[in-house]
A and B are shown apart, each in its own frame.
Chain A
Amino acid sequence: MDAPAIATQNLTRRFGELVAVQDVNLSVAPGQFFGFLGPNGAGKSTTIKMLTGLLAASSGRIQVLGLDLAKNSVEVKRQIGVVPEGMALFGRLTGAEYLNFVGRMYGLDRETAGKRTAELLDFMQLAEQPKTLVTDYSRGMQKKLALAAAVIHGPRILFLDEPFEGVDAIASGTLKAMLQRMIGRGATIFLTSHVLEIVERLCSHLAIIHKGRLVAQGSLEELRAGVEAQAAAALVDAPAASASGEKLTLEEIFLRIVGGTRRSDQELSWLG
């Protein structure tokens, strides 16, 4: 069996008194489209920042492609692509200049960087405004450019933090097409997103983090089976969807795992 593409052991991050991520043990196999979910403030972004070197871990170990991130950070960074929360764009460059720049930062020679830049701009439909500065791009264009920059060096693993946030359906379609193409070629994708429908459609495997702890990990089917088994064991009525023979959606699985509950009508009674 291949070594995991991403593996963490007791990964922990503290911010003063707050433990944002605690003893997280993740394992992502090569070639997986992996969704990393959690409610707001659960520790998703903190985890992805640690996995990509944007944040130091307080304790624990991170292995990427079998390499220890702390000891081989340069070698690891050479093989991964990242679209961080802020997108890491340089606003006062044009799209082509930015992609060329990123390509060369990842060690591509200028000819290769130039050719890939042109191809990526065409694929992402960003070639129409060659002289427009990145700062003047729309949010969707910036997301597409950030994704193009993350893949220009042909990474083996792609980390995406909320790639579909603020992106319209057309841009989202382009992003998804590119991600599917990468998976088809054997790359591993690790993404966080709040849009559960997209995660359900794209990801083969999932992990759910809640209050800094990993509370579930596995394929969607495994997570579904786990939730149903728990419900049965606890003699709790199975959800309506399950009772009617339909599969639980990811949203239902997610809510059951993180314990999301509906508030009673008595609360916020002043709200109309």
Chain B
Amino acid sequence: MAGLSFSPGMRGQFAAIARVRWQLFVNGVRTIRGRLEVVARGLMFLGFAAAGLAGSITLGALAWLFVSRGRLSWLAVLLWFVFLFWQLFPVMATAFGETVDSSSLLRYPLSFPSYFLVRLVYGALEPSTFLGSFWLLGLAVGIGIADSRYFLWAAIVLLAFAIFNILLARMIFVWVERWLAQRRTREILGVVFFIFIICFQFIGPLMSRIGRNGPPEVSRIGTQVLPYERALPPGLAAAAISRAVQGSFAPALAAFALECVYALAVLWLLSVRLREQYHGENLGEAVARNTAPKEKSAIRFGWNVSGISGPVAAILEKEFHYLSRSGPMLFTFVMPVVILLIFRLGPQTSGKQGNFLAHASDLAFPIGAAYALLILTNLLYNCFGADAVGMQLFFVSPVSFREILLGKNLAHALVLACEIVAVWIAVCFMFHPPTADVTFATVAGVAFALLLNLTAGNLLSIYTPKKIDYGALGKQRASTTTVFASLGIQAAVFGLAAVTLLVARAFGRVWIAAVVFLILAGLTSIGYVLVLNRADRIALDRRDAILAELCRA
């Protein structure tokens, strides 16, 4: 970036932004919920620190091994691993959640270089940058230990590679952010994202299928892929180091120069996007005015669901409208069948080489059903999240939270029922029809797990709600407290269900598991009703906190 320098004014602006971030953090821990979030984030940080250290040592050891044994071409594998993690982790884990809303900075007299640096620096403060940088450091140290003459060169090459990764991650983010700015493009992107995720799941089974065709097939594909790999930044960085170690300095320099060219190209693309933002691009979504002659509105009636009250039917209808208009949600719902397909595509031989379902195909239905319930976790445990300001209506309307939760629970239970039927049909086609006792035990197990999840989910939805947008790709996680609590509950429920089912199966009496699940479901239903009956009181007591979270801009 030409003309990029730190003037005193720029330094002041940077300090002010850093200070406001700190104040936001301090203000955030004033509430109990904020403190819980900090504890949860602290635990996550410890996890990332452990992953960073372990990854750094492992990659360093591998780099040392490859360099000291002369297997330099393998360095590319390590760099590709770092590169893929660096670019994919933000998509998979944080889903493009940025901690700083830097676009709001545009109202202040920031120069473009300042704006550029703020977006770059604050946006890059995320786990992938921390872990990727740490791992590259480990790689450089590993190479340095193997041959200290090349430490400096490796460090320079890997530094350039780190800069490239940071720039690329930011470039991807700002372009995705631009597409996320409008609802329609956001939803299209959401669908593309989920197709990508689904395709990603098939890599393992396909690789194992290719692997089964023997070494010639693998080597043929490898030969085809290698030229492309070498022309891309991870391959170039690896080549820059390995060629230098081999004594070919000119090719090493050329590879490094090409790596820098990639970084500059990415920098240019990033600056193009940020410059558009800086100049105040308009991404408005105003509805086009309809010039057609005005007609009387057609009368449209709501759903008529016999056996349930009008408000519950209205909530049921509203939930289905919301779910059916969310591309990401719809794609989430097909995942159980996709997972079964992935298992089906895996090696079908029994024994250690085969996948689990190859020698226990009778468990395909329970596993698919469990996965179907698992993907509903976000919905069940944060069921008011998508209502946002609409939550106010629930508090001003003459409908009890008992009915509101019933409507939502009914909608989610119906979605799960559809999923279970789809999984059952998929299992029939992909494996074999589940036996009656397995089907019955699975349905009883799902009933128990669903009731327990609904009970806990209703409570957590009221106690720790978090505003989410079904149509958006990013920032879709429930509160960290809810995430941890739901993970614990799911682990306990699925652990209990799995042990019960496997023990009953081992004794050849799967029906015993069904009976156990039915008893548990009966007991859980008492808790479910108790929570429903107390929901109104709890919600009214917590209305300030609920509305403050869900109605925030």
Q: Please report A residues at the B interface, Cβ cutoff 8 Å.
A: 52-56, 74-75, 77-78, 80, 82, 84-93, 96-97, 100-111, 113-115, 117-119, 121-122, 127-130, 132-133, 135-138, 141, 149
* Chain B positions within 8 Å of A86 at CB level: 389, 392, 551
- Once the chains bind, are B297 and A97 in contact (CB under 8 Å)? no
| Chain A residues with CB under 8 A of B300 | 96-97, 100, 114, 117-118
* A105 with B544: CB separation less than 8 A: no
CB<8 Å pairs between A and B, sample of 17: A54-B547, A85-B551, A86-B389, A87-B389, A88-B389, A88-B390, A92-B470, A97-B318, A101-B314, A102-B397, A105-B314, A109-B310, A110-B303, A110-B310, A113-B302, A128-B292, A136-B285
Interface pair A106/B318, CB less than 8 Å apart: no
Is B313 an interface residue when CB atoms closer than 8 A count as contact? yes
Q: Count A-B contacts at CB 8 Å.
A: 143
9 smallest CB-CB distances across A and B, nearest first, come from A88-B392, A104-B314, A86-B389, A90-B390, A118-B297, A77-B398, A114-B301, A128-B290, A127-B297
Which residue in chain A gives the minimum CB-CB distance to B552? Answer: A86
Closest chain A CB from B396 CB (angstroms): 4
Q: Determine whether the beta carbon of B543 is less than 8 Å from that of A54.
A: yes
CB contacts under 8 Å to A, within B367-408, are 386-393, 395-400
Whether A84 and B396, one on each chain, are in contact in the complex, defined by CB atoms closer than 8 angstroms, is yes
In the complex, are the beta carbons of B398 and A100 less than 8 A apart? no
Identity of the chain B residue whose Cβ is nearest the Cβ of A100 in the assembled complex:
B302
Task: Tell which of B286, B302, B386, B541 touches A110, judged by Cβ atoms closer than 8 Å.
Answer: B302
Known: A54-B395, A56-B544, A92-B325. A127 touches B296 (CB 8 A): yes
Point out the residues of chain A lying under 8 angstroms from B547, CB to CB. Answer: 54
Supplied contacts A91-B390, A110-B310, A127-B296, 5 more A-B pairs, CB within 8 Å: A54-B395, A74-B398, A90-B322, A96-B300, A133-B325
Interface size counted on chain B using CB atoms at 8 A: 51
Contacts of A133 in B (CB 8 A): 183, 325
**Nearest Cβ on chain A to B533's Cβ, whole angstroms:** 15
Give every chain B residue within 8 A of A74 (Cβ-Cβ). Answer: 398, 400
Please tell me which one of the listed residues B297, B325, B398, B551 contacts residue A107 in the complex, with CB atoms under 8 A apart. Answer: B398
Tell me the complex Cα distance, A119–B300, Å.
Answer: 11
List, in ascending order, chain B residues with CB within 8 A of A107's CB.
Answer: 310-311, 398
> With contacts A56-B540, A128-B294, A136-B183 known, is A106 near B321, CB below 8 A?
no
Task: State whether B318 touches A138 (Cβ < 8 A).
Answer: no
Measured CB to CB, the nearest residue on chain B to A81 is: B396
Question: Are B297 and A130 closer than 8 Å at their CB atoms?
Answer: yes
User: How far is A21 from B10 in the complex, measured between Cα atoms in Å?
Assistant: 44
Q: What B residues does A93 contact at CB under 8 A?
A: 318, 321-322
The residue from A52, A75, A102, A118 contacting B298, defined by CB atoms under 8 A apart = A118
Query: Would you call A88 and B183 a contact (CB within 8 A)?
Result: no
Measured CA separation A122–B295 after assembly (Å)? 9
Say yes or no for B60: interface residue by CB 8 A criterion: no
Pair B183/A110 contact, Cβ less than 8 Å:
no
- Chain A positions within 8 Å of B326 at CB level: 92
How far does the Cβ of A82 sit from chain B's closest Cβ, in whole Å? Answer: 4
Determine the chain A residues whose CB is within 8 A of the CB of B295 once the complex forms. 127
- Asked if residues B287 and A137 are in contact (CB atoms below 8 Å), the reply is yes
Contact B296 A54 (CB under 8 A): no
Q: B183 contacts A113, CB within 8 Å? A: no
Partner of B543 from A56, A96, A106 at Cβ < 8 Å:
A56
B290 touches A129 (CB 8 A): yes
Given contacts A92-B386, A101-B317, A104-B313, contact A54 B393 (CB under 8 A): no
Contacts A92-B386, A105-B393 given: A122-B304 contact, CB under 8 Å?
A: no
The answer for the CA separation of A87 and B398 in the assembled complex, in Å, is: 17
Rounded to whole angstroms, the CA-CA distance of A115 and B310 in the bound complex is 16
Q: Is B132 an interface residue (CB 8 A)?
A: no
User: Given the interface contacts A121-B297, A138-B286, does A104 sit within 8 Å of B183 by beta carbon?
Assistant: no
Closest to A159 in B: B396
Contact with A along B317-343 (1 / 0, CB 8 A): 110011001100000000000000000
Minimum C-beta distance from A81 to chain B (A): 8
**Which residue of A89, A92, A111 contacts B471 across the interface (Cβ within 8 Å)?**
A92
Residue of B nearest to A102 (CB): B393
Q: How far is the CA of A88 from the CA of B311 in the complex (A)?
A: 16
Complex Cα distance, B449 from A94, in Å, reads 34
Q: Does chain A have a CB within 8 A of B299?
A: yes
State A96–B392 Cα separation when bound (angstroms).
Answer: 19
Report B-chain residues with C-beta under 8 Å of the C-beta of A141.
Answer: 287
Report the separation of the CA atoms of residues A102 and B396 in the bound assembly, to the nearest whole angstrom.
Answer: 11
Shortest beta-carbon distance from A3 to chain B in Å? 20
CB atoms of B299 and A117 under 8 A apart: yes
Q: How far is the CA of A121 from the CA of B543 in the complex (A)?
A: 31
| Closest CB in chain B relative to A272 CB, distance in Å | 16
